[in-house]
Chains A and B, each alone.
Chain A
Amino acid sequence: MSLTPDDVKRIARLARIETSDAEAQATQVQLNSIFGLIAAMQAVDTRDIAPMAHAQEVTQRLRDDVVTETDRHAAFQTIAPAVENGLYLVPKVIE
């Protein structure tokens, strides 16, 4: 398998990371060498092997449906890049 610079730009688009053509070229070389390393996996016969998603076989706990958090939005918004009237400001998305 080999990624092209266009593949890199497509993935970067999925990940919302702006990438120039020159960066895509350089990244392509490194990603291909990493995928070369990963390719060793493909030779393994894993039929009938159950995937292991987690280190411990535990299920999600349930808890009572009660409020456990206090309202700290003012404290949280003091570290935001842009806020006004308790709202996070972002560029306009609806004209």
Chain B
Amino acid sequence: MSDTSLSSLAAQLAARQVSSRELAQTYLDRIAALNPAINAFITVDAEKTLAEAAAADALRAAGQAGPLTGVPVAHKDIFCTDGWLTTCGSKMLHNFVAPYDAHVIRRFKAAGMPSLGKTNMDEFAMGSSNETSYFGAVKNPWNPACVPGGSSGGAAACVAARMAPAATGTDTGGSIRQPAALCGITGLKPTYGLVSRYGMIAFASSLDQAGPMAPSAEDCALLLNVMTGFDPSDSTSLDREKEDYTRDLNLPLAGLRVGLPREFFAEGLNNEVAAAVDAAVAELKKLGATTVGISLANSKLAIPVYYVLAPAEASSNLSRFDGVRYGYRAPEYANLDDMYCKTRAQGFGAEVKRRILIGAYVLSHGYYDAYYLQAQKIRRLIADDFNAAFKVCDVILGPTAPGTAFRLGEKSGDPVEMYLNDLYTIPANLAGLPGMSLPCGFDSKGLPIGLQLVGNYFSEAKMLNVAHQYQRATDWHMRLPPLGEAPGARG
């Protein structure tokens, strides 16, 4: 199998061993072959992709190529992309061709990186299995009877199946990390505010954050270099000095203090996942790390807090979908109010409607203090637990999800059962901390297991260092699902 790491693809492009156009065509061919079974993409437009690839080749010919110019990536269908259908996995936006680019898309375009298409996702990023997509569920490449996780399930599945070298995702309560875990890839949710949310269709604005998804930590570091940076168009974008996230990849781990939160190794964790995470801890110790027991006592309240705050913000954000300016409009209605009500009843799926209703309720007169305000207060307690923990450790380690990929339909009838999937990922979103998932083994059914790292604010380079050193010592991230050879750079 050829090496499809971003650094290798970039080197092959720089050495003119392959053109961006040839590389894009190779991946388009693989998408054409595999996507019908996996359903990872909502939109593929070979003509647009090849035009962008040709432009990348022209940049290189003109001597203006950057480090990743010509390397193609797939984008989650939550990012507005000028001239491309941008659906957010919803019937509400099934016909929405975005008239502008999200900041993240602009950055990839500025880097000369062609888009391979728009990836499938849970509707409006609300889900942990990709089953709420209007465009049908994504299948897990490791076992098509299983879910890929969500909401960035299409992104995780397309990378796992090597239909793209890398992809963008977004993470509000675990939507990068949980699908990365379930599909056996690496994914990183940066510190809140590091990546601009401009043009990224909003779910819960105080939690949403975009990040990279790719086979390895090194790939993610390279992508993070592209994605981050101040953007005045997002009022929560942080004006910080630009970092090189690859700078610490090769540092040794001697002296690294790894915090193990006892709450993340308690009841509800699958035994095989626990064993794989324990083995990863042992591996890090071999590399020179020490461990320290910590407590995130309030993290058990993360799910209740999240299911107040996220729906409250969503009910406000999703009020813009009214059938007037873009997207779906109900075909028949009696008057303006009826048009809103029917458009929203028909345009939104069941899970999105449930969350809008929860949000409308917790924000309604008489309930605000008991729900919304109480949730915001506990959010601080959860963040304070992390702040205390980072006084005694450099990085926090635990499982990404309580189990491996579950079967399609297994949890879709019970929202509460589905919500519990994000038990370990939500706390980092509430605190605004960076978190990542990387492969650390397989269960007895051959399904990938994810290891989660949570770092202190702006410690992405440190987390990527830990992940990269672990990946140099292990090969879990190199394993491929049984779908056939990955595309060689020459196709």
Contacts and interface: CB of A to CB of B under 8 A. Distances in A.
A17 B348 contact: yes
Interface string B66-110: 000000000000000000000000000001110110000000000
B304 A14 contact: no
A17 B330 CA distance: 12
A41 B354 contact: no
Given A15-B315, A46-B374, A50-B380, A31 B357 contact: yes
B268 to A, nearest CB: 14
Binding site secondary structure of chain A:
loop
Given A11-B357, A11-B361, A44-B374, A76 B304 contact: no
Given A37-B416, A41-B305, A91-B335, A55 B193 contact: yes
A9 B343 CA distance: 17
Interface in A29-85: 30-31, 33-42, 44, 46, 49-56, 58, 60-61, 63, 72, 75-76, 78-82
B374 A58 contact: no
B345 A91 contact: no
A76 B364 CA distance: 33
Given A11-B361, A52-B377, A80-B326, A31 B335 contact: no
B324 A44 contact: no
A61 B364 contact: no
B342 interface: yes
B411 to A, nearest CB: 13
A80 B357 contact: no
B480 interface: no
Kindly state the interface size class of chain A when it binds its partner: 35 or more
Contacts of B337: 16
Contact of B371 (A7, A38, A78): A38
8 contacts: A17-B341, A17-B356, A37-B307, A46-B377, A49-B380, A55-B192, A55-B193, A79-B95
Interface of B: 95-97, 99-100, 192-193, 206-207, 232, 235-236, 238, 298, 300-301, 303-305, 307-308, 315, 319, 322-329, 333-342, 344-345, 348, 353-354, 356-361, 364, 370-371, 373-381, 383, 414-416, 419, 429-432
Interface of A: 3, 7-8, 11-12, 14-19, 27, 30-31, 33-42, 44, 46, 49-56, 58, 60-61, 63, 72, 75-76, 78-82, 88, 90-93
